[in-house]
Amino acid sequence: MQDETIDIFGEGSGPGDQAPRRPRHRALKIVAFSALGLVIVTGALAAWVGYDLLSVRSSLTAASDLVPELQDEIAAGDGDAALATLAEVQDHAQDAEASSHGFHWSVVSLLPVARPNIQAVQVVTEVVESLAVDALPALTEAAVLVGPDGLSPVDGQIDLAPLVASAPQLIAADLSLRRGLADLRAVETDEVLDPLADAVTDLESTMSDIASTTSTAARAVQIAPAMLGADGPRRFLLLVQNNAEPRATGGIPAWVILLTADDGVLQFADQRSASEFQPDAPVLPITDAERALFGDDLAQKMADVNFTPDFPRTAELASALWQQQDPGEIDGVLSLDPVALADIMKTTGSLSLPFGPQLDADNVADYLMNGVYLQIADKDQQDALFQLVAAAMFAQILNGPGEISSAFPALADSADEGRLMLWSAHPDEQELLQPTALSGALVGDAADSDGGADRPIVGVYLNDGTAGKIGYYLERSITADVTECRADGSQALKITLSLTSTAPADAATLPEHVTGVSGDVPPGDIRTNVLVYAPAGGQLESVTAGGEPVGIQSQLHDDLFVAGLTNNLSPGESEIYEYEIVTGPDQRGVPLLRFTPGPRDTHTQVTGATCNGA
């Protein structure tokens, strides 16, 4: 009896089989076993990767949980604790990065279905590791170097040395963050699993917020020392705006203060009422658009230099007006309003004056914008009170018990709201200031330096028409609704502006300083000149109120289309305007609203479609 060999593939290999078939069978066996082995090995490697993913998640979570502790330690000035916590963050971040790399990750990434997810995990861990090893140490060292009270004057002087020394670290941290942000934005989130896509998006949002802070800090350390007199004496004007009488950048600059800085020593040199600056002719040439929108008073009256919403232009005009009376060089102009003053007083404490109430962070804004005009009839006495407040505030900032740096978060919010602005007469400094909210520059789009989509900017600005402080009672809200994303990257917007007079029914009996002295506005009414600016390259399609077309004055101001109209409200009345606007092309980012800050917060909202990536 002859032996029969049974092939595992079911083909006989008995005496009737031809010998030449055997090599083929052997090859098939080899291929089969190899494929089976490859499946087993790949499965094992995938399981190994899966195990590593748990480690990655654990390490990233541990690092994330320590960041708030690090922030608190930096804020408290506890340098030793901050450095120790930073070391822990670094260990966890490096563990996550190490766990997401290796031969098994490289093999599994060859699988088409796994590749984008593997790459996304690796980008996240690499970015977090870089953040912990490069950016956070620089930020921590700079914060420890400066300290929580590093910018607080001691005996009237700010020590500039730590500020200068921290500049390299802050600039390096900012560059590191921006590189990481660019890497995150390169991840194709639509090709990865939803939980991982969400993690990438969340990390991108967090890093974008941090990068915004580091960008501001990096600019500040390049500008602040020179502005504070590190390279020689500087002279600045401080415009204190009163939002109760609206101007495009906030309110009428009721009084103007001259400050000097020399090697960190700040001094209150002079202050004058805005009414003292009224030459017979414009102090600087104005454009046809400026004359049509604002009149010659823009360049002839200190009280009207901020009819324009472009703060750098306001600063140039204010400097020129001051220099007509005091020819010395003006190196910059700072502006703030009573709401920003209130934020500072949360740190400096209350003020006791020879007359009037004790002022603190809770009542100073309302008193300076409204209470003083209701309680003090004499204008000279009003001016005297303003001068006392300014001098006392400055003295407290220089010599008070509070750490002025603790007011920085609130002041940063004030800058975002347009309540705090700064201009430098030195071109290199102004170039650094220009892209920031602090500059108050009139622009129609925001180019994202981190690689995101450009954002269209719609400006909504108000100028008083009553020549009084009745604007204290004007409430406003602004909504931008994205109604269409267009093929050329432009967006169709509907801007809704609501204005309401909350003046009391007997507003006509209020003091003339409140109701106004224009003569052609009924006492108690609020007359407001409204300017709405379309984004760069955009245009205004229509303006309606109650569904009916509204007549407007249109101009091209600084290459931006602007529509002007005049609104009149009696006590208790409201008006709603709707503007149909099309942005410029390639402005796919979320629209930004810039507006005149009022005595209280302006309600703003952006709704509708999201065009970024459309």
pLDDT band at 192, cuts 50/70/90? Answer: low
Q: Provide the pLDDT for residue 6.
A: 34
| pLDDT exceeds cutoff 90 at 258 | yes
Give the start-to-end residue ranges of the domains of the chain: 29-217, 234-415, 443-608
pLDDT at 110: 67
Which span out of 223-232, 393-402, 435-444, 477-486 was modeled with the highest average pLDDT? 477-486
Q: CA dist 491 to 488, 535, 542, 604, Å?
A: 9, 10, 15, 19
pLDDT (0 to 100) of residue 11: 41
- The pLDDT value recorded for residue 15 is 42
Over residues 199-227, the pLDDT tens digits come to 777 777 777 777 776 777 788 888 989 99
What is the per-residue pLDDT for 281? 94
Per-residue pLDDT for 292 more than 70? yes
Please tell me the predicted confidence (pLDDT) of residue 31: 44
**Tens of pLDDT along 82-132?**
888 888 888 877 887 777 777 666 766 666 766 777 777 777 777 777 877
**pLDDT tens track for 576-613:** 999 999 999 999 999 999 999 999 999 999 999 889 85
Strands (E) located in 468-559: 474-485, 491-501, 526-533, 539-545, 548-549, 553-557
pLDDT band at 48 (very low <50, low <70, confident <90, very high): very low
Average model confidence (pLDDT) across the chain: 83
Pick the CATH number of 443-608 from 1.20.1440, 1.20.1160, 1.10.3860, 2.60.40: 2.60.40
Domains 234-415 and 443-608 share a fold: no
Distance between CA atoms of residues 100 and 405, nearest Å: 40
Q: Coil, strand or helix: which one is 520? A: coil
The pTM of this model reads 0.82
DSSP string computed for 20-64: THHHHHHHHHHHHHHHHHHHHHHHHHHHHHHHHHHHHHHHHHHHH
Task: Considering the domain delimited by 234-415, tell me its CATH architecture.
Answer: 3-Layer(aba) Sandwich (3.40)
Beta carbons of 426 and 374 less than 8 angstroms apart: no
Distance CA 217, CA 215 (A): 5
Give me the mean pLDDT over the 514-542 stretch: 94
- Whether the CA torsion 413, 416, 418, 422 is positive or negative: it is positive
Q: What digits encode the pLDDT tens for the residues 13-36? A: 444 444 454 555 555 444 443 443
pLDDT at 241 over 90: yes
Closest C-alpha to 397, from 357, 349, 365: 349
